[in-house]
């Protein structure tokens, strides 16, 4: 290693240490909120690795990310202001210590969760045909997270340029590795046919030499690698939570490579520290002077009342209509990539939605392993690089396996990185029962995804052309979305019932709502629901008039994550009663939001409101039991009649 | 030539034939009174639009949809009679043919229940032409528009009105349409209410003296009372509200209804926007309404929309009484008087709906009203020298008394008020708004 390189590495490590020591002081002074995870003792890891990174590489770091950030970006001002929660911080104070972003550098506080995202970034680099790589810094404690193995598997299988740097400091927070880790670390990589290398921060010259070669292989050969860096954390995991014996830590303090270098090079150290201290102190002053930013509202409140126009449908089967739209999209936009289990031709997906796409361009349709977390994370990574991934989750029930990816990653990045990162991602999945698939293949779980700032949730229904909804999800910077497709609906044609007395309208909103409007001077009740319930509500409306002397209108929004009654004020106020209908669990569901919004916005304009939802129970497999449980036409008719006639 | 059933009241899609004033086949001059039609609110005389022999298109007691032919005019009596006899056996058919569709949907479809109800009750389907989807409750509401306003109970579809068995020994006579309208209004007013009447005495002598001395309003004090009432009401919104379905509905206007009965039946005229009217406006309106009452030229607009009612029986020797609240109101104020008693005592009998207001509310309100009325008389209590010492102009707008009297003549009423620091000041009636 030449002197210049050595100086650079030392400067980065000393800077990291000085900044973190300052951060500890600021914390003690009460000027930082949250906590600080320092890498004091481990600085050389970031200082060395950063030597081998090039422009447009993407780096994901973890909760202990300050050293990585400084070695890669050299942005002392942005880091200190961020931790002090000020608007001049790299994320405007919205991300804080564990959630930094700058020029392709990201960090996140979810252990292992960003490995699938990094795999997606690596796939994106591969698509770009650049020499860029994705880097992920994890710790030895993260070896307990399943998501990383899903990512190892895919990265190795698809030869993705993913460098995983594992900083092995022997402890997960306070727990020693011996208590929690089975087997060997490098054997894990070997099992996935991933190359690996062992280095340490004490002999950092060798670390530099070996990692240079290792990273070059990852870059040049486009294949994943696990670089295990033995190191030691001299300070507590976070703040004041160190229960390791003092003499044990002291031993490492004495052999700490930076401490040894300082001892041997006092004059040079003093010289280097003059510049570093000055930078750090200036950064603190700048951060103190910077104002606190604003809390941004993801969905700006609008009082607009939507207008309605005639709705027309194509009479195609729903599966065909979605497939036709995807085929056009796929042909015309090379950024569109389909990812999912069993989605390539000839199988074309469990519900045949992606049929034929891989025949058009085999490189942009991926059959994945059964790894829902990984495929959603990969979609996220691809989306961050400007691709438009369409991720299929075979059954909505499996979203549970990807929940963390949706909730802590895809939907959060735009916010926590202060609007500097856009995630284009469409996750689509069939939901709902009535097919006898039983308790884990029949649920309507979308309510768990409502109320996630940053995530658009839409539900297709049989009376809105799928393209009307999908076209707005794949525009530039559309952000992450979850599309609920009711599985019963796929086979049905998109047709409006030919019954005299009703007209069929759609709203002019971004994701159009469907309205079945009675041609009558009076509306007794409005039925509100979405997705698969829509057709059942329409049939109930017809029956309620003909046999029960009751006139109802049906309102079915497709945008189910942003229902606001004010937008539908005019049509809601037409009716005397409101009945919401939901196939998912009623408690804390969509209907509750609808009725709350109606009450808040329109007050007590109605003679009565009710919710109809299934019994509080898992969905039975027996077809007969399932029919008993899920709201059908007769359930709606009975509930509506009770409400309108008897107020109950 | 023919006349159609006029749209007298926008809420009534049908009107009742109360009385034909020209017999079937008889001759009428254009402009002469032809028929009395009853709406939910009142009975209105309709004048002939043309001259000729008439054939009537509805019998007394029949409800005719607005827009339907009411009468045809013929050149000869023979023509008229021919028309009458031709129409007689097929009244329904001709009715059907002339129904004007009020619906906007261009089609008509009954629910199964509505179809059944129509057939059982022999209702003419063409009444509903163009109404689109129609359920039983809509049929009932179309036939009886008053049902429409009752949101909770009666409008539930299929809730047919309960039939009451007729007691066997009674003989019945028809109630006049006029009386019917009165009954409707008062029935709605008393339905379900918890009513209570409170009485307040007001010694009107000083006010009367003042009005007389200053030659105001032909010596009557009612305009002043109504003026002060109108000014006070906006501060007490519950007085212009009503109770229904466990809710209180507030009117957005102070429309003082004034009950009148000068021998042609009880009518309630509407002093719309009474909170904005000056005493002389009220006086002119009352005079105008009285003339119209006597000349039968009151129009629907004059009779509809009041949000609180005053009924004055003081000139009929009534001392106190219990006035009945009108439909969709919560307060009525009755005015009585005790003949020649010293101080000319008057009684305000206030009936109110306890579901909306309490005795205290009424007490506070009436005490204020009466205090204000007394203030008109106070000028008499002021020693002459003090009065002369007053600045002779309105203390608020500054108009001097001379030009004020010149401008408003007999409607001028300069009041003496006591300001916050205890000094006496003059206040013209215009500035007295918000007194």
- HEC-encoded secondary structure of chain B: CEEECCCCCCCCCEEEEEEECCCCCCEECCCCEEEEEECCCCEEEEECCCCEEEEECCCCCCEEECCCEEEEEECCHHHHHHHHHHHHHHHHHHHHHHCCCCCCCCCEEECHHHHHHHHHCCCCHHHHCCCEEECHHHHHHHHCHHHHHCCCCCCCCCCCCCCCCCCCCCCCCCCCHHHHHHHHHHHHHHCCCCEEEEEEEEECHHHHHHHHHCCCHHHCCHHHHHHHHHHHHHHCHHHHEEEECCEEEECCCCCEEEEECCCCCCEEEEECCHHHCCHHHHHHHHHHHHHHHHHCCCCHHHHCCCCEEEEECHHHCCCCCCCCCCCCCCEEEEEEECCCCCCCEEEEEEEEECCCCCHHHHHHHHHHHHHHHHHHHHHHHCCHHHHHHCCCEECCCCCEHHHHHHHHHHHCCCEEEECCCCCEEEECCCCCCCC
In a shared domain, residues A508 and A408: no
Q: Pick from A522, A549, A604: which is nearest to B113 by CB?
A: A549
Q: pLDDT (tens digit, 9 = 90+) per residue, A269-302?
A: 999 999 999 999 999 999 999 999 888 776 667 8
Whether A309 has its CB under 8 Å from any CB of chain B: the answer is no
Q: Which of B340, B337, B369, B381 is nearest to B435 (CA)?
A: B369
Q: Is A27's pLDDT higher than 90? A: yes
The number of CA neighbours under 13 Å toward the Cβ of A232 is: 16
What pLDDT sits at residue B89?
Answer: 44
Q: Which helix or strand (DSSP H or E) is residue A166 part of? A: strand A162-168
In a shared domain, residues A117 and A87: yes
Q: Is A96's pLDDT higher than 80? A: yes
Q: pLDDT (tens digit, 9 = 90+) per residue, B313-338?
A: 888 888 888 998 888 889 999 999 88
Do the chains contact at A551 and B135, CB–CB below 8 Å?
A: yes
B103 inside domain: no
Tokens, residue B192: 């379900």
In a shared domain, residues B265 and B212: yes
Q: Is A536's pLDDT higher than 90? A: yes
In a shared domain, residues B273 and B316: yes
Do the chains contact at B107 and A549, CB–CB below 8 Å?
A: no
Q: pLDDT (tens digit, 9 = 90+) per residue, A204-223?
A: 999 999 999 999 999 999 99
In a shared domain, residues B208 and B320: yes
What pLDDT sits at residue B160?
Answer: 37
A497 inside domain: no
Tell me how crowded residue A442 is: count the other CB atoms within 10 A of its CB: 25
What pLDDT sits at residue A382?
Answer: 98
> Which of B156, B247, B248 has the most A C-beta neighbours within 10 Å, making it the best mutation to test the interface with A?
B156
pLDDT band at B165 (very low <50, low <70, confident <90, very high): very low
In a shared domain, residues A471 and A510: no
In a shared domain, residues A557 and A445: no
In a shared domain, residues B218 and B354: yes
In a shared domain, residues A544 and A480: no
Q: Give CA separation, B116 vs A355, B119, B159, B160, in Å.
A: 53, 5, 14, 12
What pLDDT sits at residue B95?
Answer: 32
What end-to-end distance do the CA atoms of chain A give, in Å?
Answer: 82
B170 inside domain: no
Whether A645 has its CB under 8 Å from any CB of chain B: the answer is yes
Q: Is A574's pLDDT higher than 70? A: yes
In a shared domain, residues A275 and A377: no
What pLDDT sits at residue B298?
Answer: 82
Q: What residues make up the domain containing A591?
A: 502-646
Domain boundary among B98, B119, B136: B98
Q: How many distinct structural domains can be found in chain A?
A: 3
What pLDDT sits at residue B91?
Answer: 34
Residue owning tokens 């009710």: A610
User: What CATH number is attached to the domain comprising B94?
Assistant: 2.40.50.100
Q: What residues make up the domain containing B6?
A: 2-98
Tokens, residue A492: 């049905």
B161 inside domain: no
User: What CATH number is attached to the domain comprising A561?
Assistant: 3.40.50.920
Distance of CA B305 to the CA centre of its chain: 6
Percent of chain A residues topping a pLDDT of 90 = 93
In a shared domain, residues A433 and A554: no
Q: Distance from A613 to chain B by nearest Cα, in Å?
A: 24
Query: In chain A, which residues have their Cβ closer than 8 Å to the Cβ of B247?
Result: 604
Stretch A2-15: mean pLDDT, rounded? 96
d(CA A410, CA A455): 8
The number of CA neighbours under 13 Å toward the Cβ of A77 is: 8
A604 or A344: which carries more pLDDT confidence?
A344
In a shared domain, residues B220 and B276: yes
ipTM summary value: 0.80
Tokens, residue A541: 């409306």
In a shared domain, residues A481 and A507: no
Q: How many distinct structural domains can be found in chain B?
A: 4
Do the chains contact at B131 and A520, CB–CB below 8 Å?
A: yes
Residue of B nearest to A502 (CA): B133
* Range from A136-145, B85-94, B101-110, B340-349 that averages highest in pLDDT: A136-145
Contact of B349 with B197, CB cutoff 8 Å: yes
Q: pLDDT (tens digit, 9 = 90+) per residue, B174-223?
A: 555 666 666 766 776 666 778 889 999 888 888 888 888 777 888 888 99
Taking only Cα atoms into account, the Rg of chain B, rounded to an integer number of angstroms, comes to 27
Stretch B170-174: mean pLDDT, rounded? 47
Q: pLDDT (tens digit, 9 = 90+) per residue, A316-328?
A: 999 999 999 999 9
Contact of B249 with B241, CB cutoff 8 Å: yes
What pLDDT sits at residue B2?
Answer: 87
Q: Distance from B247 to chain A by nearest Cα, in Å?
A: 10
In a shared domain, residues B238 and B303: yes
In a shared domain, residues A330 and A414: yes
Q: Which of B420, B432, B415, B433 is nearest to B378 (CA)?
A: B415
Provide the b/e sequence for B199-231 (b: ≥16 CB within 10 Å): ebebbbbbbbebbeebebbeebbbbbbbbbbbb
A465 inside domain: yes
In a shared domain, residues B132 and B11: no
Q: Give CA separation, A514 vs A459, A477, B378, in Å.
A: 11, 26, 70
Q: Is A389's pLDDT higher than 50? A: yes
In a shared domain, residues B224 and B303: yes
Do the chains contact at B133 and A524, CB–CB below 8 Å?
A: no
In a shared domain, residues B47 and B137: no
pLDDT band at B341 (very low <50, low <70, confident <90, very high): confident
pLDDT band at B86 (very low <50, low <70, confident <90, very high): confident
Q: Which of A361, A468, A360, A378 is nearest to A427 (CA)?
A: A378
What pLDDT sits at residue A145?
Answer: 97
pLDDT band at B171 (very low <50, low <70, confident <90, very high): very low
Q: Pick from A500, A502, A576: which is nearest to B151 by CB?
A: A576
Q: Pick from A522, A546, A646: which is nearest to B138 by CB?
A: A522
Q: Is A93's pLDDT higher than 80? A: yes
A129 inside domain: yes
d(CA A5, CA A74): 16
Q: pLDDT (tens digit, 9 = 90+) per residue, A412-453?
A: 999 999 999 999 999 999 999 999 999 999 999 999 999 999
Tell me which DSSP letter residue A334 carries: T
A605 inside domain: yes
> Which of A501, A502, A521 has the most B C-beta neighbours within 10 Å, making it the best mutation to test the interface with B?
A521
Whether A331 has its CB under 8 Å from any CB of chain B: the answer is no
> Which of B133, B145, B158 has the most A C-beta neighbours within 10 Å, making it the best mutation to test the interface with A?
B133
Q: Is B46's pLDDT higher than 50? A: yes
Q: Is B41's pLDDT higher than 80? A: no
In a shared domain, residues A236 and A321: no
Q: Is B414's pLDDT higher than 90? A: no
| CA–CA–CA angle B103, B108, B113 (5° rounding) | 120
What pLDDT sits at residue B421?
Answer: 66
Q: Which residues contact B277 (CB under 8 A, 6 or more apart)?
A: B227, B230, B271, B285
B223 inside domain: yes
Q: Pick from A518, A604, A647: which is nearest to B133 by CB?
A: A518
The 3-state secondary structure of A16-59 reads HHHHHHHHHHHHHCCCCCCCCCCCCCCHHHHHHHHHHCCCCCEE
> Residue A151's beta-bridge partner residues?
none
DSSP β-ladder status, B345-353 and B195-203: antiparallel
Q: Which of A145, A219, A152 is nearest to A190 (CA)?
A: A152
In a shared domain, residues A353 and A482: yes
B89 inside domain: yes
Q: Is B42's pLDDT higher than 90? A: no
B156 inside domain: no
A302 inside domain: no
d(CA B380, CA B393): 18
In a shared domain, residues A130 and A247: yes
B417 inside domain: yes
Q: pLDDT (tens digit, 9 = 90+) per residue, A487-523?
A: 999 999 999 998 999 999 999 999 999 999 999 999 9
Do the chains contact at B133 and A549, CB–CB below 8 Å?
A: no
Do the chains contact at A519 and B132, CB–CB below 8 Å?
A: yes
Q: Give CA separation, A15 vs A44, A67, A491, in Å.
A: 11, 8, 62
DSSP β-ladder status, B14-20 and B33-38: antiparallel
Q: Is B10's pLDDT higher than 70? A: no
* Range from A401-415, B216-230, B244-258 that averages highest in pLDDT: A401-415
B15 or A24: which carries more pLDDT confidence?
A24
Residue of A nearest to B247 (CA): A604
Q: pLDDT (tens digit, 9 = 90+) per residue, B298-312?
A: 877 788 788 999 998
User: What CATH number is attached to the domain comprising A93?
Assistant: 3.40.50.970
B154 inside domain: no
Domain boundary among A289, A318, A342: A289
In a shared domain, residues B344 and B221: yes
In a shared domain, residues B350 and B247: yes
Query: In chain B, which residues have their Cβ closer than 8 Å to the Cβ of A499?
Result: none
Q: Is A50's pLDDT higher than 90? A: yes
In a shared domain, residues B389 and B365: no
């Amino acid at each position: 290693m030449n002197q210049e390189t050595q100086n650079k590495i030392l400067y980065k490590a000393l800077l990291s240490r000085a900044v973190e020591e300052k951060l500890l002081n600021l914390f003690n002074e009460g000027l930082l909120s949250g906590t600080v995870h320092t890498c004091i003792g481990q600085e050389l890891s970031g200082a060395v690795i950063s030597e081998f990174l090039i422009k447009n590489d993407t780096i994901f770091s973890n909760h202990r990310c300050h050293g990585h950030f400084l070695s890669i970006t050299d942005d002392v001002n942005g880091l200190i202001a961020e931790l002090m929660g000020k608007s001049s911080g790299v994320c405007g104070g919205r991300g804080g210590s564990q959630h930094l972003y700058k020029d392709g550098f990201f960090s996140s506080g979810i252990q292992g969760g960003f490995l699938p995202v990094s795999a997606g970034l690596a796939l994106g680099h591969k698509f770009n045909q650049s020499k860029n790589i994705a880097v992920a810094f994890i710790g030895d404690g993260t070896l307990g997270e399943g998501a990383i193995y899903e990512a190892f598997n895919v990265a190795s299988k698809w030869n993705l340029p993913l460098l995983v740097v594992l900083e092995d400091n022997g402890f997960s927070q306070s727990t020693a590795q011996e208590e929690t880790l089975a087997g060997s670390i490098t054997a894990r990589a070997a099992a996935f046919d991933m190359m690996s290398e062992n280095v340490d921060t004490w002999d950092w010259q060798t670390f530099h030499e070996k990692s240079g070669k290792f990273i070059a292989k990852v870059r040049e050969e486009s294949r994943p690698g696990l670089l295990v860096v033995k190191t030691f954390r001299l300070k507590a995991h976070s703040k004041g939570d160190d229960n390791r014996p003092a003499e044990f830590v002291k031993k490492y303090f004495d052999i700490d490579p930076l401490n040894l270098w300082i001892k041997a090079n006092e004059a040079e150290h003093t010289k280097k520290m003059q510049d570093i201290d000055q930078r750090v102190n200036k950064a603190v002053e700048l951060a103190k002077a910077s104002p606190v930013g604003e809390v941004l509202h993801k969905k700006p409140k609008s009082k607009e009342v939507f207008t309605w126009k005639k709705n027309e449908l194509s009479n195609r089967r729903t599966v065909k209509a979605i497939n036709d739209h995807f085929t056009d999209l796929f042909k015309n936009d090379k950024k569109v990539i389909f990812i999912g289990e069993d989605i390539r031709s000839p199988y074309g997906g469990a519900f045949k939605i992606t049929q034929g796409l891989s025949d058009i361009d085999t490189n942009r349709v991926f059959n994945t392993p059964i790894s829902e977390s990984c495929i959603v994370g990969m979609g996220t990574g691809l989306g961050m690089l400007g691709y438009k991934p369409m991720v299929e989750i075979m059954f909505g029930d499996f979203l549970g396996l990807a929940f963390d990816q949706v909730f802590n990653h895809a939907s959060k990045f735009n916010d926590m990185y202060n609007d500097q990162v856009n995630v284009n991602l469409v996750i689509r999945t069939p939901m709902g029962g009535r097919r006898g698939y039983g308790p884990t293949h029949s649920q309507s779980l979308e309510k768990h995804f409502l109320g996630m700032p940053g995530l658009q949730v839409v539900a297709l229904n049989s009376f809105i052309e799928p393209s009307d909804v999908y076209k707005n999800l794949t525009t530039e910077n559309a952000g992450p979305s979850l599309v609920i497709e009711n599985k019963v609906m796929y086979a049905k044609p998109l047709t409006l019932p030919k019954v005299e007395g009703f007209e069929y309208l759609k709203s002019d909103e971004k994701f159009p709502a469907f309205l079945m409007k009675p041609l009558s001077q009076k509306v007794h009740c409005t039925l509100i629901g979405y997705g698969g319930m829509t057709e059942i509500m329409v049939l109930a409306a017809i029956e309620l008039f003909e046999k029960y002397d009751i006139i109802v209108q049906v309102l079915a929004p497709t945008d189910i994550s942003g229902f606001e009654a004010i937008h539908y004020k005019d049509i809601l106020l037409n009716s005397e009663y409101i009945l919401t209908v939901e196939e998912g669990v009623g408690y804390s569901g969509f209907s509750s939001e609808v009725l709350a919004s109606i009450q808040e916005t329109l007050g007590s304009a109605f003679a009565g409101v009710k919710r109809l939802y299934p019994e509080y129970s898992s969905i039975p497999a027996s077809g007969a039991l399932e029919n008993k449980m899920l709201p059908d036409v007769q359930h709606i008719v009975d509930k509506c009649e009770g409400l309108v006639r008897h107020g109950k | 030539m023919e006349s159609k059933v006029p749209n007298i009241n926008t809420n009534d899609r049908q009107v009742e034939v109360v009385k034909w004033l020209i017999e079937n086949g008889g001759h009428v001059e254009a402009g002469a009174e032809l028929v009395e039609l009853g709406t939910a609110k009142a009975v209105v005389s309709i004048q002939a639009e043309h001259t000729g022999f008439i054939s009537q298109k509805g019998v007394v007691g029949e409800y005719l949809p607005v827009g339907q032919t009411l009468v045809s005019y013929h050149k000869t009596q023979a023509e008229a009679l021919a028309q009458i006899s031709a129409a007689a056996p097929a009244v329904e058919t001709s009715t059907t043919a002339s129904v004007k569709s009020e619906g906007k949907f261009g089609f008509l479809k009954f629910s199964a229940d509505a179809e059944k109800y129509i057939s059982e009750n022999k209702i003419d389907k063409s009444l509903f032409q163009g109404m689109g989807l129609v359920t039983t409750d809509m049929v009932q509401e179309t036939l009886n528009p008053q049902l429409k306003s009752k949101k909770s109970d009666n409008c539930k579809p299929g809730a047919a009105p309960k039939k009451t068995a007729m007691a066997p020994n009674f003989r019945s006579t028809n109630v006049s349409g006029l009386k019917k309208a009165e009954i409707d209004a008062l029935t709605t007013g008393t339905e379900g209410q918890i009513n209570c009447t409170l009485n307040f005495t007001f010694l009107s002598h000083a006010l009367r003296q003042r009005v007389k001395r200053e030659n105001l309003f032909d010596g009557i004090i009612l305009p002043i009372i109504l003026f002060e009432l109108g000014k006070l009401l906006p501060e007490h919104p519950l007085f212009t509200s009503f109770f229904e379905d466990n809710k209180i509905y507030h009117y957005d206007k102070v429309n003082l209804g004034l009950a009148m009965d000068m021998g042609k039946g009880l009518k309630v005229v509407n002093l719309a926007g009474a909170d904005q009217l000056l005493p002389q406006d009220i006086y002119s309106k009352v005079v105008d309404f009285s003339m119209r009452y006597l000349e039968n030229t009151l129009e629907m607009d004059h009779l509809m929309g009041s949000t609180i009612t005053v009924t004055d029986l003081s000139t009929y020797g009534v001392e106190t009484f219990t006035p009945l609240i009108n439909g969709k109101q919560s307060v009525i104020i009755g005015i009585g008087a005790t003949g020649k008693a010293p101080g000319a005592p008057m009684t305000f009998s206030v009936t109110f709906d306890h579901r909306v207001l309490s005795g205290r509310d009424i007490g506070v309100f009436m005490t204020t009203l009466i205090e204000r009325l007394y203030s008109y008389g106070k000028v008499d209590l002021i020693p002459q020298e003090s009065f002369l010492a007053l600045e002779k102009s309105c203390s608020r707008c500054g108009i001097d008394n001379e030009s004020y009297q010149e401008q408003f003549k007999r409607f001028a009423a300069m009041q003496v008020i006591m300001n916050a620091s205890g000094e006496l000041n003059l206040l013209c009636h215009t500035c007295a708004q918000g007194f």
